[in-house]
């Protein structure tokens, strides 16, 4: 008997089955090497996503991330939102939330959906994208972890006008017996104002 399956073989159609192609989109975040991150917060979201999804999910998620299928990504207030364009004409809405330093929650509008212990491929794809952005962009990392943006803080500090008092400099350069410590501290506070709380 021929090993080839005939047209009547009910299994023959599986030979021809192919997954529906992804619908290409533009403007998505293309991650060349999903998961190749070193930032501790980037590693944390990847590790959590991988340990909260079934074995077939991460490979599909990496394909989405590599091909830029994750679009309209926004990260703010320890959360991330995006749309994922798969084979369906309508993109799925997916969201991740940081609930603790190494704990995260996921939600997706796809039929598979997300439970606390089983994330869909769209949520894991967004995790790869978030990890990439956190790893490569300090501002994204700050919004994801809820900490102050280091670049913005530096810019704000640089914007504070500092008036140098030549008289104070002269007094500091030439110590005088009548210059008590209280005077120095008072004048120093006038010259270099305390940063805003
Ligand atoms: Zn999904």
Looking at residue 1, its pLDDT comes to 47
- Tell how far the Cα of 137 is from the centroid of ligand 1, in angstroms: 26
Q: In angstroms, what is the span from residue 121 Cα to ligand 1's centroid?
A: 6
pLDDT of the chain along its 197 residues, tens only? 445 544 565 555 555 555 677 788 888 999 999 999 999 999 999 999 999 999 999 999 999 999 999 999 999 999 999 999 988 889 999 999 999 989 999 999 999 999 999 999 999 999 999 999 999 999 999 999 999 777 766 776 676 555 666 676 676 666 555 556 666 667 666 766 666 66
C-alpha 146 – ligand 1 centre gap (Å): 25
- In the reported structure, the alpha carbon of residue 130 is separated from the centroid of ligand 1 by a whole-number distance in angstroms of 16
d(CA 118, CA 161): 52
CA distance 15 to 132: 37
Q: Please, which residues have CB within 8 angstroms of residue 55's CB and are 6 or more apart in sequence?
A: none
The pLDDT, as a whole number, for residue 21 is 74
> How many angstroms is it from 50 CA to the middle of ligand 1?
15
Q: How far is the CA of 47 from the centre of ligand 1 (A)?
A: 18
CA 93 to centroid of ligand 1, rounded, Å: 8
Distance 192 CA to ligand 1 centre (A): 53
Whole-angstrom CA distances from 31 to 42, 65, 71, 193 are 13, 5, 12, 44
Integer Cα distance of 62 and 185 in angstroms: 58
The model's pTM is 0.69
């Amino acid at each position: 008997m021929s090993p080839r399956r005939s047209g009547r073989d009910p299994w023959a159609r599986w030979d021809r089955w192919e997954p529906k192609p992804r619908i290409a989109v533009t403007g998505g975040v293309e991650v060349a090497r999903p998961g190749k991150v070193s930032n501790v917060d980037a590693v944390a979201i990847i590790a959590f996503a991988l340990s909260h999804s079934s074995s077939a999910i991460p490979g599909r998620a990496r394909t989405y991330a590599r091909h830029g299928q994750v679009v309209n990504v926004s990260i703010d207030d320890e959360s991330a939102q995006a749309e994922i364009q798969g084979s369906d004409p309508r993109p799925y809405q997916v969201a991740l939330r940081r609930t603790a330093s190494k704990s995260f929650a996921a939600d997706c509008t796809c039929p598979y959906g997300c439970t606390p212990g089983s994330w869909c491929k769209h949520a894991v794809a967004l995790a790869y994208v978030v990890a990439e952005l956190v790893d490569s962009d300090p501002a994204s990392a700050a919004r994801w972890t809820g900490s102050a943006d280091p670049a913005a803080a530096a810019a704000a500090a640089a914007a504070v006008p500092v008036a140098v008092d030549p008289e104070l400099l002269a007094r500091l350069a030439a110590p005088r017996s009548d210059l008590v410590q209280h005077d120095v501290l008072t004048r120093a506070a006038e010259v270099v104002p305390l940063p805003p709380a």
